[in-house]
A and B are shown apart, each in its own frame.
Chain A
Amino acid sequence: MDTNNIWERLTKVFRETFDDDQLIVGPETTADDIEDWDSLMHIQLLVAIEQAFGIHFNTGEVVSLANVGEMAALIENKSS
């Protein structure tokens, strides 16, 4: 899966999870940039990403994902 494809699908997951059609996420986006992104939403987001990409985050990764860039890199790594 190429990087563009990942960003496209990741944006879709973010938009669905936060119910915001206009939401734009980039490598630097963090939880501080999205109002509703609290610890509860973080888990919902991870579950949605796992499902959308058919991947599995390991226990350490579940909390350590500091920004969306790291998420995308991890997804690329896991789905290659």
Chain B
Amino acid sequence: MESNEGFSSGSRLGGSDGKGADVMSERPNIEVVKALFKAGHYSEAHHTVLEQARYVRDYPAFASLCRWRQRLAGKAPGLASTKTVKVALLGGAGTEMLQAPLELALEAVGFGCEMYRSAYNTFASEMLDASSATVAFRPEVAVVVTTPANLPRWPEPGDSRDDVQQVVEEVCEYWLALCAQLHQHTQCEIILNNFHPLPTRPLGNLGTKLPWEANNFLRRLNLTLGDRAPAYVHINDVEGLAAHYGVTQWFDPRYWFHARQPVSFQCLVPYVVNTARIVGALFGSTAKCLVLDLDNTLWGGVVGDDGLEGIAIGEGDAVGEAFKVFQEYVLRLKQRGVLLAVCSKNEEANALAPFLKHPEMILKREDFVSFKANWKPKPDNLREIASELNIGINALVFVDDNPAEREHVRQRLPEVKVVELSNDPADYPRLLDEAGWFESTALSAEDHQRTQQYKENTQREKLRESATDYASYLASLAQKAVIRPFEDLHLDRITQLINKSNQFNLTTLRLSRSQCEDLMHDSEVLTAYVRATDRFGDNGLISVFFARHERDELHIEEWLMSCRVLKRGVENLLCNYVVEKARARGVTSLYGVYRPTPKNGLVREHYKALGFKWVGTDQDGATRWCLDVESYKPFDVSIELVEDY
């Protein structure tokens, strides 16, 4: 597979191998799994199951993957999943049929899981009762599966809009009070679905004018639920999914009557996948960068062959319009913080021409933080993109119309999230959207500025190349930083960093927002975040630290930093700050621990570089370090510490 022969620069619109349009109904290649299993290649078989679970949405096929996963359990060591999550599955509806598919969907996004499933329709008591089996299980995440049948109240016919709003508030309060209780007992995050519309409309179109009408009420309820949900409640948008697939597809009354199935089998897989996405986002599996092919992916045709005038993009041509809409969708992803990159087999000048000269292009060259148009194998380019941006390979989502390129990337870089496209550009926005790799549970100010921040980094690189030595480069950056204890305002961003930083992260401890909030209020814990800026722009909140005070010792539990400010002195500045705070608390020794992971080799020597002494190595390879606070001499740092900037 090293040779790139056989991968033409732009695949033909219309596809060539039929592996596209009907991918949703395609039975997964179970034969491959079977053959690998028989040959004793259990890990490969397991990997194939998970890879297919990423895009198979057909229930019988997915169920078959579930059975193979179970058969392989114990035989294959599992992927190097970042975490095993404890999930409680609580039902106001039947959940038995959801369990195995949800477990598989979670594993497909990189999480092992230990699941507790409560009995049918016991969700309320399980959440309220501090001695319930759910509370005893200590879940990290609770998935509460309910349907309109679980609603405690409905409006009365003829109720005014105010009456109906009153019912809406009461129902919301009932629901969120259950969540509050469970959260108080366990500190877990809660995934609560909103409600799909009912498939019947006894009042017909008139219902749209009558607030008390059932679907009218459900719409209001869903809106208020989203408005009122606290940070630890994550809404599983069943209303949106039911609209996407159609209510009559979403809800199958036959299986509701038989087994209280909350969702039809046809839509069961999208439902569990959507749920798994939220869990993934909570624990940091959100992808960061969308890598796009060009020919027949962002525009129709092959620019190198067809020329600038020959490509299909923009109004006046149906296919061109489809590509334009896809570009608009990609632009919206960028606006919400997704980085964009190009990876195309092309002459660079040809690849750039549409961005620079074609008036109908929605995406511009400056929307991309990396632009690889060359003839190298795509996996090589993808690796370079990840390394340039200082992000993991698994943070890349790859979109390419050419099935051969997709397969090449899947084989060479299994961590990359490869989106299955059809051979029709009109499907692209939906398929990328349904893949759901950019699910996140909160947006921070940094998300909106991310592309800008990466671009500023490029300018910094250029300055560094021109500076005669590193110290003068740092001085020329005119850096400023703010260091403060955790604050409400920044808690979303702090949680986000804690859950997604992998490289500059000493302990890779993952915490929920409410755990961060608890730390913020704990007087025995010294917390700190760092925001930094320089002459090229604001880097935003880029470092998080906390340590627990015990007698005259301070034990560092978390120290992480965004790689965009590597080697700029931020860690030295933070060390100075921490030692000063430690002295003020009467601390004499500062302890740190480095817990190695496959990704954090970068900070193996972090404590040593800061002058800590090695005091031991644990069985699991963790190294322990100690700093004598009294003899510490502050580092010279070319960052000005300010109150605000």
> B265 interface residue, CB < 8 Å from A?
yes
Q: Report whether B64 and A19 are in contact in the complex, using a CB–CB cutoff of 8 Å.
A: yes
- Tell whether A43 pairs with B254 under 8 Å between CB atoms, given A16-B27, A19-B64: no
> A63 interface residue, CB < 8 Å from B?
yes
Contact of B64 among A16, A40, A57 (CB under 8 A): A16
In the complex, how many residue pairs between chain A and chain B have their CB atoms under 8 Å apart? 37
Q: Report whether B254 and A19 are in contact in the complex, using a CB–CB cutoff of 8 Å.
A: no
Least distance between B103 CB and chain A CB atoms (Å): 14
> A66 interface residue, CB < 8 Å from B?
no
- A58 vs B257: C-alpha distance when bound (angstroms): 11
For A34, the chain B residues whose CB sits under 8 A away are none
Q: Report whether A59 and B253 are in contact in the complex, using a CB–CB cutoff of 8 Å.
A: yes
Q: Report whether A40 and B96 are in contact in the complex, using a CB–CB cutoff of 8 Å.
A: yes
> B171 interface residue, CB < 8 Å from A?
no
> B255 interface residue, CB < 8 Å from A?
yes
- A19 vs B259: C-alpha distance when bound (angstroms): 25
> A17 interface residue, CB < 8 Å from B?
yes
- A44 vs B64: C-alpha distance when bound (angstroms): 9
- A51 vs B268: C-alpha distance when bound (angstroms): 14
Q: Report whether A17 and B253 are in contact in the complex, using a CB–CB cutoff of 8 Å.
A: no
Q: Report whether B67 and A19 are in contact in the complex, using a CB–CB cutoff of 8 Å.
A: yes
> A68 interface residue, CB < 8 Å from B?
no
Query: What are the interface flags for B609-629 relative to A under an 8 Å C-beta threshold, 1 for contact and 0 otherwise?
Result: 000000000000000000000
- Tell whether A48 pairs with B253 under 8 Å between CB atoms, given A16-B27, A16-B30, A43-B265: no
- A57 vs B265: C-alpha distance when bound (angstroms): 13
> A47 interface residue, CB < 8 Å from B?
yes
Q: Report whether A17 and B259 are in contact in the complex, using a CB–CB cutoff of 8 Å.
A: no
**Identity of the chain B residue whose Cβ is nearest the Cβ of A51 in the assembled complex:** B60
B69-125: which have CB < 8 Å to A?
96-97
B233-283: which have CB < 8 Å to A?
253-255, 257-259, 265
Q: Report whether A48 and B68 are in contact in the complex, using a CB–CB cutoff of 8 Å.
A: no
Q: Report whether A48 and B254 are in contact in the complex, using a CB–CB cutoff of 8 Å.
A: no
**Identity of the chain A residue whose Cβ is nearest the Cβ of B71 in the assembled complex:** A19
Chain B residues with a Cβ closer than 8 Å to the other chain, count: 19
> B319 interface residue, CB < 8 Å from A?
no
- A47 vs B68: C-alpha distance when bound (angstroms): 18
> B174 interface residue, CB < 8 Å from A?
no
> B59 interface residue, CB < 8 Å from A?
yes
For A57, the chain B residues whose CB sits under 8 A away are 254
Least distance between A68 CB and chain B CB atoms (Å): 17
> A62 interface residue, CB < 8 Å from B?
yes
- A47 vs B64: C-alpha distance when bound (angstroms): 12
Q: Report whether A40 and B253 are in contact in the complex, using a CB–CB cutoff of 8 Å.
A: no
Q: Report whether B64 and A43 are in contact in the complex, using a CB–CB cutoff of 8 Å.
A: no
- A17 vs B97: C-alpha distance when bound (angstroms): 15
> B63 interface residue, CB < 8 Å from A?
yes
- Tell whether A44 pairs with B258 under 8 Å between CB atoms, given A16-B27, A19-B30, A19-B68: no
For A63, the chain B residues whose CB sits under 8 A away are 258
- Tell whether A47 pairs with B254 under 8 Å between CB atoms, given A16-B64, A19-B68: no
- A43 vs B261: C-alpha distance when bound (angstroms): 11
- A57 vs B255: C-alpha distance when bound (angstroms): 11
Q: Report whether A59 and B258 are in contact in the complex, using a CB–CB cutoff of 8 Å.
A: yes
For B96, the chain A residues whose CB sits under 8 A away are 40
Q: Can you list 28 A-B contacts (CB < 8 A)?
A: A16-B27, A16-B30, A16-B60, A16-B64, A17-B64, A19-B30, A19-B64, A19-B67, A40-B96, A43-B97, A43-B255, A43-B259, A44-B59, A44-B60, A44-B63, A47-B59, A47-B60, A47-B265, A48-B60, A57-B254, A58-B254, A59-B253, A59-B254, A59-B257, A59-B258, A62-B254, A62-B255, A63-B258
Closest 5 CB pairs of A and B: A48-B60, A47-B265, A59-B254, A44-B63, A47-B59
Q: Which residues of A approach B to under 8 Å, CB–CB? A: 16-17, 19, 40, 43-44, 47-48, 51, 57-59, 62-63
